[in-house]
Structure 1
Amino acid sequence: MSRNLVGVLGTIIVAVYVIGSGRWVATDAEWYRSLTRPAWQPPSGVFGIIWPYNFGMLIVATWMVADRLSGINHVVWLLSLTLSVAAALTWAWLFYVPHSILASGFALVFATILTIPLLVIAFRVSPALGFAFLPYQLWLAIATSLAFGYAALVTPGP
């Protein structure tokens, strides 16, 4: 697979991620604001910083993987990126459209797990890229815990 093709495909996957998540997150903002937030939820301003960083980092990482690695690394990168983005978009849809909060948490579990190969490949490219990728992996783990936190707060007790 050519390096340019890997870079272009990865960029398209991230663009779909940006557009899809933005669309679904904005679907029912009033409902979201009405929810009781888990105590460990970061302030709103953090979201406005971390997501542009994450999306930009994914694009930069894709092009660095395309440039510095080859073969199976390209295939694993694109497959893991596609599946992790699909799981993350499933979270956004489940959480914001039908408000299936618990199910959305499981979608984020899959997104977090499916991103581990990306982290490994990023470290293969360079330690600097691997460390630059860590905030995304950490953010997915935090988002997963928040989804389950929201589910616990909205699920009636026994």
Structure 2
Amino acid sequence: MTRGLVSTASTIIVIIYIVGAGRWVATDADWYRSLNSPAWQPPDFIFGLIWPYNFAMLIVAGFVVASRDSQTEQIIWLASLALSVTAALLWAWLFYVPHSLQASGFALGAATLLTLPLVVVAFRASPLLGLALVPYQIWVAIATSLAFSYAARN
């Protein structure tokens, strides 16, 4: 597996994440606003700050992992990234399209678990990079909690 292939594949996966999540999240704003949201829901502007950061760090991490890590760790990175993005996109679809709130929480729970290897592999490539991905891990865990909270309240 070449470094160029790993970094390109990683970037493509993140672009699919950006486009897919954006497509589904924007589908039914009125429905979303009608939900009984938890009091601890972050304000909207936080989403606008954290997601670009998370996406940028995932792309940067793909390049760093491709240039510094072993082939085994590169495979772990790509597999974990693809699976976690699949789970996160499943959350977006379940939450915003059929409005399956409980199922969406389980999808995000899977995404949360699947992001752990990303942080570990990133730490091995660069401790600073691993730290830079911790906000993504925390954000996905918070989103999981929010999804289950929405399911319980609605």
SS at match of 1:98: coil
Please list, as runs of the form range in 1=range in 2, the aligned pairs for 1:85-100 lying within 5 A after superposition: 85-100=85-100
Give the Cα–Cα distance (whole angstroms) in 1 for the partners of residues 71 and 153 of structure 2. Answer: 46
Amino acid at match of 1:57: M
Displacement after TM superposition at 1:70 (Å): 2.2
Please list, as runs of the form range in 1=range in 2, the aligned pairs for 1:33-72 lying within 5 A after superposition: 33-72=33-72
Please list, as runs of the form range in 1=range in 2, the aligned pairs for 1:3-18 lying within 5 A after superposition: 3-18=3-18
- Structure 1 residue runs of 4 or more that deviate by more than 3 Å after TM superposition: none
Alignment correspondent of 2:2: 2
SS at match of 2:37: coil
Alignment correspondent of 1:105: 105
Q: Deviations over 1:96-146 (max 9, x none)?
A: 000000000000000000111001001101111011000000000000000
Alignment correspondent of 1:144: 144
Paired residues, number: 154
Give the Cα–Cα distance (whole angstroms) in 1 for the partners of residues 132 and 144 of structure 2. Answer: 20
Amino acid at match of 2:122: A
Q: Unmatched 5+ residue regions in structure 1?
A: none
Same amino acid, percent of matched pairs: 66
TM-score (norm 1): 0.96
